Amino acid sequence: MLRSVLAMALVMAVASPAFAADAVVGDPYPLDKCPLSGKTLTADSPSAVKDGREFKFCCNNCKGKLDTDAASVISKADAAITEKEKPAYPLDTCIMSGEKLGDKAVDAVINNRLVRFCCADCVDGFKKDVAGNMKKLDTAVIEKQKAAYASKKCPVSGEELGSMGDPLNVVIANQMVSLCCKGCEKKLRAEPAKYIAMVSGGAEDKKQ
């Protein structure tokens, strides 16, 4: 009996790191295009996780390059994410120091999200408590976008916001998305680019 318990514990100890390595931390992959080919992604596009970050690709050949040339893949993804998210970035000050973001602002993609800093030292400070600091950024996004949020329906279900209680405000890619319920969050995170585009374009109001 003891031998069986020890064997099971050994299996779990060996398996746990693999599960941890595959866990997505932070935002899902926020783009609708492959970071390498630029081709449009579909719901069936292959994905991979590297150091907690999710990436999606147009094909398995591109996916394989995350193993053989991760630096290039990450660099291209970071550039695309920065270009996409910078216009809607909610703060004109550094989230750490409070200093104004000027021409020398440092742009960093952390957990698939653009975060802007006044200097490299603040990037290091942010990384000491990524979860806590991301919550501050989420709050800033919601505060800036909530008043002007025009969509009246949940982009996932098509239900009227407020029909199932207070809407759930989720922030992905520095964009607030209001959902009718917690149950819709999984689908939002599976295809964030699709639903963010619907919110910004008002397409969900035409679903019914």
Q: Is the dihedral of CA 175, 145, 139, 176 positive or negative?
A: negative
Residue where one domain finishes, among candidates 145, 166, 192: 145
Do 135 and 192 belong to one domain?
Answer: no
Average pLDDT, the chain: 89
The pLDDT value given to residue 11: 40
Determine the pLDDT at residue 201. 54
Residue 15 inside a domain? The answer is: no
> Does some domain include residue 3?
no
Q: What is the pLDDT of residue 42?
A: 93
User: Is residue 2, in this structure, part of any structural domain at all?
Assistant: no
3-state SS, one letter per residue, for 11-53: HHHHHHHHHHHHCCCCCCCCCCECCCCCCECCCCCCEEEECCE
Tell me whether residue 12 is in a domain.
Answer: no
- Residue 88 pLDDT: 84
Verify that 97 and 153 share a domain, yes or no: no
Is the torsion defined by CA of 98, 103, 104, 105 positive or negative?
A: positive
Write out the two tokens for 161: 């916001």
> Which residue stretches of the chain have pLDDT < 50?
1-2, 4-19, 202-208
Residue 18: the pLDDT is 42
Residues 103 and 73 in one domain: no
pLDDT for the residue 22: 76
Residue ending a domain, among 64, 87, 110, is 87
Same domain membership, residue 103 and residue 64: no
Q: Are 61 and 99 found together in one domain?
A: no
Same domain for 62 and 75, yes or no, is: yes
Range of the domain at 114: 89-145
